[in-house]
Structure 1
Amino acid sequence: MIQKSILLFFILFAFNCNAQTMETVSKLKASYQKCVDSGSGMKNCAIEYYNESDSLMNVAYRNLKLKLSSKEQSKLKKEQLDWIKKRDLYFEKVYSDTKKEGHFVEGSSDFDMVVFDEKANYIFARVKELIKKL
């Protein structure tokens, strides 16, 4: 857990130093895949991946906002609020669809892993959008 916190700190530091690249996102995905491939604590891997995606999105959003005029900031804020509404609907759909598929027992580690994985991937798509605007 401490190693992941240190990794997240360095990632956030890199983002604050304007080192926002798709390579950073790719490295996080590779780290997540390595964690999942270990076969141990996969639910925790997915939760950490989700938390990292959310943190990166917040950093990318703040960095982008700093580069914009007041008018552009207002536009970005509206865009982000609209995205959050879509995100919430998507998250509900992911949970519902995973439940309907019946491959996993609701509330099990496997079920939670699938849900957090899907949520993280959705957020990482937004991170990529924000980085491209930087």
Structure 2
Amino acid sequence: MKRFILCLPLCICMNVFAQTSKSAVDSLEKRYQLCLAEGKSQYNCALQYYTQMDSLLNTVYRQLYDNLDNNRRATLQISQTQWEERRQTYFKDIDLRVEKKRPQTLAGLDDDMIVTDNKAAFLKTRVMELLASKHS
């Protein structure tokens, strides 16, 4: 019973963090959509969204890591390393595809905006995975 009572504040804290982080994801998404709706410099909107999502990913990972025991930390580190390898491969592939098609598309930042948006979506998926792992 004492363990349950001691664990309860931690569980409540973890749930509050998950809700806060989910709110942060939603807030970033909303600001991004509003920026895009303005119709100005959509590449800058995507770049800002990507940068903010990357920062949120780092924050969520760090907070999750700090709240785990050593065994679960090791598992998380392995998972993160594997994800980082997938990210590197995905980013390289998407950049190569765009560079191949660039001569066929109109000049401008549209291709860069789309690539940056796709990269941000990749990061967002990882943020959501990490948030979901808190509940398992």
TM-score category (smaller protein): 0.7 to 0.9
For the residues of structure 2 that align with 1:26 and 1:98, how far apart are their CA atoms? 28
Secondary structure of the structure 2 residue equivalent to 1:39: coil
* Alignment partner, residue 6 of structure 1: none
* Alignment partner, residue 42 of structure 2: 42
Secondary structure of the structure 1 residue equivalent to 2:27: helix
Q: Quick one: structure 1 residues 64 and 109, their matched pair in 2 at CA, closer, same or farther if it must change by over 3 Å?
A: same
Residue identity opposite 2:63 in structure 1: N
Residue identity opposite 2:81 in structure 1: L
* Alignment partner, residue 8 of structure 1: none
* Alignment partner, residue 93 of structure 2: 93
Residue identity opposite 2:67 in structure 1: K
Q: Quick one: structure 1 residues 104 and 90, their matched pair in 2 at CA, closer, same or farther if it must change by over 3 Å?
A: farther
Unaligned runs of 5+ in 2: 1-15
The structural deviation recorded for 1:72 is 1.0
Q: Show CA shifts across 1:3-56 (max 9, x none).
A: xxxxxxxxxxxxxx7243433212211210110111112111111000011000
Q: How does 1:61-80 map to 2 (within 5 A)?
A: 61-80=61-80
For the residues of structure 2 that align with 1:104 and 1:56, how far apart are their CA atoms? 33
- Which TM-score applies when normalising by structure 1? 0.78
Unaligned runs of 5+ in 1: 1-16
Residue identity opposite 1:40 in structure 2: K
Residue identity opposite 1:66 in structure 2: D
RMSD of aligned C-alpha atoms? 1.7
Higher Cα Rg, which structure: 2
The structural deviation recorded for 1:133 is 1.9
The structural deviation recorded for 1:104 is 4.9
For the residues of structure 2 that align with 1:116 and 1:22, how far apart are their CA atoms? 21
